[in-house]
Amino acid sequence: MKRIIWAAIICLGVLTPGRGAFANDDRPVTVGYQLVYNPWKVAITSGAFAAATSHSIKWRQFDSGAQVINALALGEVDIAMSGSSPIAAGLSRGIDMELFWIVEDIADAEALVVRYDSGIISPQDLRGRIIAVPLASTTHFHLLFALDQFGIDPQDLTIRGLQPPEITLAWAAGEIDAAFVWDPALGQLKNTGKVLITSGVLSSWGKATFDGMVVSRAFAADNPEFMCKFVKTLAAADAAYRADPDAWTPESEQVQAIVGLTGGDAADVAGVLELYDFPTLAEQASSQWLGGGSGGGAARALRFTSEFLMEERKIPSVLPDYAPAVNPRWVEVVVAGGC
């Protein structure tokens, strides 16, 4: 599995000079995404983003949030979708980026699943077992938080760092006893396993997680019109799903577009989407998420996540305040009818 060499990121510092602007050249905007079911994936396949922004967009697939944040730090992508844990880690290490969109409140869409034949009945049975998780991800953060709540020392079990496709292979081979992951891998594991705890429950215990969109500060500052139209397209995709979720059947164009891009079984998509909460524009702009400064939901979640990651020695320090890295500007412009 690829590991993020954070020292290299720190040495490189901010993004490559000139990477932020595209107004005077023809290079595509590069957006990194992960294999997660979301309504906005439909807008990728339909070309809605390119049409709305009047600019070519290159879409790059990544297996984990850590990988896509690393790519943004190296100047290989301009915009990246990632979980709140990799975002918090990246910000804490000085990557010059800002959170501008909450893709989804993860809720019950990520879960710790144990094999039916593992003999694991309660959390205490996890001792001595092998648990797979994508390192530096939201599920890694929640796994460590869960173990802490259960009174289990991580040293009392084996945490194996694997990406979702590797997790499904290791599960099929009987190499792991449990895994904390998201769909479509999660759905495959549920066929021969049971959910021990979900991220929704763990979030209710005080440590929320989310998937978000981050952007290079230089790129965002140089391209305000693109950012506004990009956010407007994201909002339209989510609104289309919220307006009629029952229309997202396995045979529908929307679901077929999602599985065509991310893989998995079309029959699973509707059930997975129901596990997430996709905030409205008003909710995005409110103190529930991007608004509210230091007391806003996103800023608080990033701080809590960073504090936990530092306790686990995953990052060297925590920023005094994460609010400066949360930018509701583009959402507010769209709410006001701009672009």
Structure confidence by residue, pLDDT tens digits, 20-53: 555 445 789 999 998 889 999 999 999 999 999 9
3-class SS letters over the chain = CCCCCHHHHHHHCCCCCCCCCCCCCCCCEEEEEECCCCCHHHHHHHCHHHHHHCCCEEEEEECCHHHHHHHHHCCCCCEEEEEHHHHHHHHHCCCCEEEEEEEEECCCCEEEEEEHHHCCCCHHHHCCCEEEECCCCHHHHHHHHHHHHHCCCHHHCEEEECCHHHHHHHHHCCCCCEEEEECCHHHHHHCCEEEEEEHHHHHHCCCCCEEEEEEEHHHHHHCHHHHHHHHHHHHHHHHHHHHCHHHCCCCCHHHHHHHHHHCCCHHHHHHHHHHCECCCHHHHHCCCCCCCHHHCHHHHHHHHHHHHHHHCCCCCCCCCCCHHHECCHHHHHHHCCCC
Q: In order of start, what are the domains of the chain with their CATH numbers?
A: 6-106+209-335 (3.40.190.10), 110-204 (3.40.190.10)
The pLDDT tens digits for 157-182 are 999 999 999 999 999 999 999 999 99
The pLDDT tens digits for 73-115 are 999 999 999 999 999 999 999 999 999 999 999 888 899 999 9
Question: Is the model's pTM score more than 0.85?
Answer: no
The pLDDT tens digits for 119-144 are 999 999 999 999 999 987 889 989 99
Beta strands 193-198 and 110-115: pairing type?
Answer: antiparallel
Query: Does pLDDT of 11 surpass 90?
Result: no
State the amino acid at position 66 in one-letter form: A
Query: Does pLDDT of 64 surpass 50?
Result: yes
Q: Which residue has the tokens 């693109």?
A: 226
The pLDDT tens digits for 185-234 are 999 999 999 999 999 899 888 788 899 999 999 999 999 999 999 999 99
Identify the CA nearest to 81 among candidates 3, 157, 182: 182
